[in-house]
Amino acid sequence: MKILAVDTATEACSVALFIDGEISERFEIAPREHARLLLPMIDSLMAEAGLKPQQLDAIAFGCGPGSFTGLRIATGVMQGIAYGADLPVVPVSTLAAISQACLQKTGYDTIFTAVDARMNEIYWAVYQRDAEGVAQLLGREKVQPASEVDALQLTGFGIGSGWQPYQHELTTRLGEQLIGYDADYLPRSAEIAYLGMIGVQRQQTVPVEQAMPVYLRDKVAQTTAEREASKK
């Protein structure tokens, strides 16, 4: 199976190829450079593998939540390749990709994933290892203040950029439910490629016209008055 994966949901820009169990990747932390970097990364990786888009089985992309501009870049590139090569698409949650990385690198089965969403909020989700070792969402992904997160009465390990600015709120809220956390990890297309392969196996692909970014926020920008009103 051959899967191309792209992700620009955060300050990291990355591309990966999954080819019959092997994953190769390009990864760079480059805020505001995604539009310039993404296509050359894809071209380089595909040329190195000697592949054309028509030889792929599907394309996976980090569908969010994340940066509004970043998600639009990844979505646009994904749509162009998928339309041109008539490929199915696997949308992969940014939070799922981060959780999958944690599951693969640690022995923990429950992951509390928090990504900084700005505006004093985080993108939050609880993921758990399923029987095949794949991150499975429990409940819903949410955007909310760190002081209001719900860990579903589970004990787990925290990961994601939201743990750095909101360490106090999250550790206070979770208490003994929290084993520890790692605030340094950003989503990578390697995990998106892997989850894309799982999505193909589980028949979770969608036509390209149905593959859309997930923002979680209804409005990307709000005034201070609007934010205060929404809390009442």
pLDDT of residue 232: 44
Read off the pLDDT of each residue in 138-150 and give the average, rounded to a whole number: 97
- Count structural domains, the chain: 2
Whether 231 is in a domain gets the answer no
> Which of 188, 193, 189, 195 lies closest to 159 in space, CA to CA?
188
Round the average pLDDT of the chain to a whole number and report it. Answer: 94
Q: Say whether pLDDT at 32 is over 60.
A: yes
pLDDT of residue 199: 98
- Summarised one tens digit per residue, pLDDT across range 110-122 is 999 999 999 999 9
The share of the chain scoring above pLDDT 90, in percent, equals 93
- Based on the fold, state whether residues 88 and 148 are members of the same structural domain: no
Tell me how far apart the alpha carbons of residues 39 and 76 are, in angstroms, rounded to a whole number: 11
Per DSSP, helices labelled H in the chain are 34-49, 68-85, 94-105, 167-174, 189-201, 224-231
Whether 218 is in a domain gets the answer no
pLDDT of residue 228: 47
Whether 216 is in a domain gets the answer no
Tokens of 97: 């990709």
- Based on the fold, state whether residues 134 and 85 are members of the same structural domain: no
pLDDT of residue 220: 46
pLDDT of residue 223: 38
pLDDT of residue 221: 43
Whether 228 is in a domain gets the answer no
- Based on the fold, state whether residues 175 and 206 are members of the same structural domain: no
pLDDT of residue 217: 85
Read off the pLDDT of each residue in 99-116 and give the average, rounded to a whole number: 96
- Summarised one tens digit per residue, pLDDT across range 70-87 is 999 999 999 999 999 999
Whether 219 is in a domain gets the answer no
Phi/psi region, residue 118 (left: phi>0; alpha: psi -120 to 50; beta: rest), is left
Tokens of 155: 């004990």
Query: How is residue 166 annotated by DSSP?
Result: T
Q: How far is CA 171 from CA 21, 116, 164, 174, in A?
A: 37, 15, 11, 5
- Based on the fold, state whether residues 59 and 168 are members of the same structural domain: no
Could you count the other beta carbons within 10 Å of the beta carbon of residue 95?
31
The share of the chain scoring above pLDDT 70, in percent, equals 94
Whether 223 is in a domain gets the answer no
CB 33 within 8 A of CB 13: yes
Burial of 24: CB neighbours in 10 Å, binned 0-12, 13-18, 19+: middle
- Based on the fold, state whether residues 88 and 196 are members of the same structural domain: yes
For residues 220 and 41, which has the higher predicted lDDT (pLDDT)?
41
CATH number at residue 43: 3.30.420.40
- Summarised one tens digit per residue, pLDDT across range 153-212 is 999 999 999 999 999 999 999 999 999 999 999 999 999 999 999 999 999 999 999 999
Q: Say whether pLDDT at 219 is over 70.
A: no
Range(s) of the domain holding residue 7: 2-93+187-210
Read off the pLDDT of each residue in 123-152 and give the average, rounded to a whole number: 98
Whether 76 is in a domain gets the answer yes
Q: Say whether pLDDT at 99 is over 70.
A: yes
> Which of 61, 48, 62 lies closest to 19 in space, CA to CA?
48
Tell me how far apart the alpha carbons of residues 64 and 216 are, in angstroms, rounded to a whole number: 8
- Summarised one tens digit per residue, pLDDT across range 33-45 is 999 999 999 999 9
CB 167 within 8 A of CB 116: no
- Based on the fold, state whether residues 148 and 178 are members of the same structural domain: yes
- The helix/strand count (H/E) of the chain reads as 6, 10
Tokens of 33: 């450079």
Phi/psi region, residue 18 (left: phi>0; alpha: psi -120 to 50; beta: rest), is beta
- Based on the fold, state whether residues 74 and 114 are members of the same structural domain: no
What contacts 113, CB < 8 A, 6 or more positions away? 95, 98, 99, 102, 123, 124, 125, 126, 127, 158, 159, 160
